[in-house]
Every structure is written in structure tokens, then in C-alpha cells.
Structure 1
Amino acid sequence: MDAVALAGHALGVPNLVLAMAPPLPPDFSARYAALVERRRLREPLQHITGTTAFRHLDLTVRPGVFVPRPETETVAQVAIDAARALAGASAVASILEPSDPTRSAGAAAVVDSSGAVVDSPGAVVVDLCTGGGAIALSVADEVPGAWVTAVELSPEGVALARGDADRLGLAVRVLTGDVREASLLAELDGAVDVLVSNPPYIPPDAVPIDPEVRDHDPDLALYGGGADGLEVPRAVVRAAVRLLRPGGTFVMEHAEVQAAAVRADVAATGAFTDIHTVVDLTGRDRMVVATRRP
């Protein structure tokens, strides 16, 4: 797969089909060999090509920003399903009770000068620790009418997410912020329908083996803080308690070995019900999902 992707990159062909390959330019062999050498030295394929596929999108990748993983596509799916369900229910309600002032699906949110939601006809979705924005952009792409806010601490990540949102024509509000700040997104307190996050969660003594991760993904996106790596994920849980509306959905990625600990952290808040672990496509415990209590 990498060999074909690198050949396509050298030829400027996004999706190279070998049976229909274009004529090779005279300098192809040298350019291709240079790309292969970079990959042999374990530079991430996505850094070499500058792009990666995530669900239905081709996203930009740059050094200094976490490379989205296929496992996180399943996390995005749960958030997308929850937002879609809300949109569907709201649309039905608007048909049955057209005079009802509650939300209906299909239009963007109305906010005041502080950023607070005044009226949101679609689902209000927040993606914390968004990195380059993969989850937030996918929600905006796949849930019509959703009002999506993405928050990232890294300036490089913020710039990348904003750039892709503009390039793809997706309505995502991208903000710089630290999930550990108690006042983060205070204007949305109690107004969020779906809060999703793929925070850093690796413990300090669990240094990744793969050079592509260890040597190229930024530490800020990998290590979650504290002896167990769950300092930042616990901050995400606290933010979810504050931001989610009653009945809102919480989705957060974690490491396979952290499932029980994360469920316990979510339960300890007393703010959630239906707390459970969802596996990824390989059957590994991948995320916690819970519902905000009334």
C-alpha cells in the first residue's frame, strides 16, 4: 500500500491504479527512490504525502500535528450517529408540532456576540482535543445542520483544522483552548448535545514502540499526564459534565487497558447514566459512551 501511495505521490496522482498508470517522467525513478528512502527511515507515510484519508474526507497532514488513526473513525461514528439521531428526532417534532419553539433540524445555530447558542436548529457538537480536526470535520460533513465547535491547545493543530475546514467548505468553529481550564466554552454550559474527544492518554512510561509515533507525533497529543495517562481525559470528563445538556451524549477515546478506569471516572461524577465501553473494528476496547443525566 505504501509503495503505491508513494508512486502516486511522485506522479501527482491521488489514487493510482497500476493497470492504468500514466507514462513515467524521466526523473520518476530518482524521485520515487528518494520517497521510498524516507519511508524506509520510518518517516510516516502521511507526512511524506501530506494527506490522509479519514472516513469520507482527505485531510491535510503536517509534522507537529497528530496523524488521525483509523481506530478513531469508530469514535467519530458514535458521535455522528448520536447527532444524526437528535436531528431526526427534532425534524419529526417540528413536523408534528410546527409551533413548538424547540429545535428543528437543517439550519445553522444562532449565537450571540459571546458565542453562546441562542437557537440551534441542528445538533450542537463539541470536539475537545481535536488535533487537526478529523472528528469535528467528519461530523460537519456527515450531519446536516450540525453546529460544530472544535477546541485544540496546539497552535499548529488549530491552524491545520481551520485550513481544512476552509478548504473543504465545512462549517466548524475552531478555537484555541485548554480542556483543563474550568471556564472553557462557558457560553455553551448545558447546551451541548454531543461532546466527543480523542484526548492524549498514553502514560509517561508507555513510550510507543513504532518510530512513526514515537519520533513524529507530538508529545502534547500522546501523553495524557499523571502516572496513568488520564489527567487530560479526566479534564475532558469534567468538561462534559458542565457542557452537556440533560440527555446529551458523551464519547471519549481511550487505550484498551484503560476501559475500566475511564468508566469508573465517568461514574464517579454522578452525572451520567448508561456508561459503557464500545469496541473498535478490531474488537479492542476503544471508547467510553455515556448519557448526561437530567
Structure 2
Amino acid sequence: MSRTPLRLELMAASRRLEEAGVGSPRFDADELAAHLLGVSRGRLGLHPLVGDEWVEQYHALVARRAAREPLQHILGTAVLGATTVQVGPGVFVPRPETESLLEWALAAVADTPEPLVVDLCAGSGAIALAIAQARPDARVVAVERAAGALAWARRNMELHEAAGGTPVDLRGGDIGDERLLEDLEGRVDLVTANPPYVPDGTVVDPEVGEFDPAEAVFSGADGLDTIRRLVPVIAGLLTVGGTAAVEHDDTQGESAPALFAARRVFGEVTDHTDLTGRARFLTLRRVALTPRR
């Protein structure tokens, strides 16, 4: 059996992925190699040579990625904060851009003992689980409507709990169903949401358009349909002084915050950029006693 230098395989894979239009070709090439070797990306240097069978398997993975299948689908997992969740067909893949929202959310309740947190449009459960892992004293409730995403979230919650994590209360249903969260009205310290927010008809990357569920991506002509529905829900959930963080499209840095700023129950409505410097999520604080619906 012949042996091939791993670095040559990585270089060739990176070139192929770049030619296919993948946005992070070298990173993805390294991640696929690390996955196949069963090591972290930082330990690839400990495997200078690879055999023929490995090379064949690696080429097959690279071909899948070159066809724009999401890296996370190939790996079977996605990472948010210190949390790893399982993902695949039927659920939106968490993106690195959401790291900024997660960091803000954790800082917002850093001084709140045993905070009550609600994650709306939970998808795979990544945000809810990342908060639960970082704050085991928190009570975390996650809400998801889509059956496919709900199945993935349930699986991830079970794995989290089996590993000794604090259980997350996963509720299946629509955010507009008042019965779903009526026991939490006016009591919540933090609400997070990564809703669908892309305007209908927007041209998106193949990883999104061909693999993410459309209902988790698109939301009306201006992309704000679901965010509009979140406004009264968040107003009803938050306790006075409670905070919320809602992700939005990078074209909605003014329009999304304006929906919340128009409600007198909210103050400190602020927009934030993500790791790439693009407008990405808004935050607010509940300041009035009575929501105006």
C-alpha cells in the first residue's frame, strides 16, 4: 500500500473546493480530513502520510462538498459556542454569525441568578443548548414548530441530557399560539430568536437554497414576516428589565429594530454586527409594565 503526503491532498482538495465556489476552501478541506482521521483540525500535522483507502474516502467527501452539500451535513454536526449539535436534512444549520448573538445573550444574564430563558424558532436547539451548557443554573425553554427541525432538536436535547447537562424544556408549536407559553408570561429574563428572515426570491448559496428548509430561511417579501410576529410574543414573555436578542438579515439593520422601537414596552433597542462586521442581530430591554398589542 502506497502512502501519500497529507499536505498534498489538502492542497488539492482546497483547490477543488475553491473552484467549486466554496467560501472557505482550505478550512473545509482540513475539517473533512480531520473528520476522516478522527482528530481535531489542529492535530492534522501528526498525520503526515495517508494510505490509499483513506485517500479514496477523502476524495468522496471532497466531491460531496464540491457539490455544495453543507460541510455540517457531511460531518453530521455543527458547533455553536461550546456546544456541538447533530444536524442533517430537515433542519437549519447553525452559522458562525450567530456566535455574536450567543455571546451577547450570555453576557445579558451573567449577573442574573437562575435566569429563565426562552429560545424561539429553536431549529436544531443550538442556541438553547449553548445557553444551557454555559449556564447550568438556568431554566431554558425552546420552541420549534416544524416537525423535521423538532425531531433534530429533540435528539440533541436527549444527547445533552444523557451527557449530564441540565434538561431543556422543548415545546413543539407555533410562536403565535398563546397557550404554548402562557405559563411564562411576564416572567422571562432573556428571549433569543434566530427566525427565518430572508426576503422571498433572494438568491442564496446552494448550501442554503438546496439543503436548508425553506420555511427556516424565507419570510415574506421583505423577510420580516416572522420577526413582526415575534414583537408581541417577546413583549408578553419578558419581565420588566428582561432582555431579548433577535437575529435578522444584513439588509435589515434599520427595518428590524424599527419594529421593536415602535413599541413603548421596549427600550434600548440596538442593532449589532456579527463577526464579519455585517448588521446581524438586534437587542432590547423590556421597560414598560403593559404590552401594547
Aligned to 1:174, the other structure's residue is in SS state strand
Instruction: Confirm or deny that 1:62 pairs with 2:109.
Output: no
**Corresponding residue for residue 219 of structure 2:** 224
Instruction: Confirm or deny that 1:242 pairs with 2:236.
Output: yes
- Which of 139, 143, 148 matches 2:140? 148
Aligned to 1:64, the other structure's residue is in SS state coil
TM-score (norm 2): 0.83
**Stretches of structure 1 lacking an aligned partner (at least 5 in a row):** 88-121
After superposition, give the CA deviation of every residue in 1:33-77 in whole Å (9 maximum; x if it has no partner). 111111111111111110122111222111111110111111111
How many residues end up aligned between the 2 structures?
Answer: 258
- Which of 142, 152, 176 matches 1:180? 176
Offset, 1:236 = 1.2
Instruction: Confirm or deny that 1:44 pairs with 2:40.
Output: no
Letter in 2 for 1:293: V
The whole-number CA distance in structure 1 between the counterparts of 2:33 and 2:225 is: 42
Offset, 1:23 = 6.7
Offset, 1:213 = 1.1
**Stretches of structure 2 lacking an aligned partner (at least 5 in a row):** 1-26, 289-293
Instruction: Confirm or deny that 1:194 pairs with 2:186.
Output: no
**Corresponding residue for residue 136 of structure 1:** 128
**Corresponding residue for residue 35 of structure 1:** 61
Aligned to 1:256, the other structure's residue is in SS state coil
- Which of 135, 142, 163 matches 2:155? 163
Instruction: Confirm or deny that 1:18 pairs with 2:44.
Output: yes
**Corresponding residue for residue 266 of structure 1:** 260
Runs of 4 or more above 6 Å deviation: none
The whole-number CA distance in structure 2 between the counterparts of 1:239 and 1:207 is: 30
Instruction: Confirm or deny that 1:127 pairs with 2:123.
Output: no
TM-score (norm 1): 0.83
Aligned to 2:109, the other structure's residue is in SS state helix
Contact 2:171/2:180 (<8 A) preserved: no
- Which of 258, 275, 278 matches 1:281? 275
The whole-number CA distance in structure 2 between the counterparts of 1:181 and 1:224 is: 18
Offset, 1:182 = 3.5
The whole-number CA distance in structure 1 between the counterparts of 2:63 and 2:169 is: 39
**Corresponding residue for residue 81 of structure 1:** 107
Contact 1:267/1:275 (<8 A) preserved: yes
The whole-number CA distance in structure 1 between the counterparts of 2:34 and 2:169 is: 33
The whole-number CA distance in structure 2 between the counterparts of 1:207 and 1:180 is: 29
After superposition, give the CA deviation of every residue in 1:64-100 in whole Å (9 maximum; x if it has no partner). 111101111111111111122222xxxxxxxxxxxxx
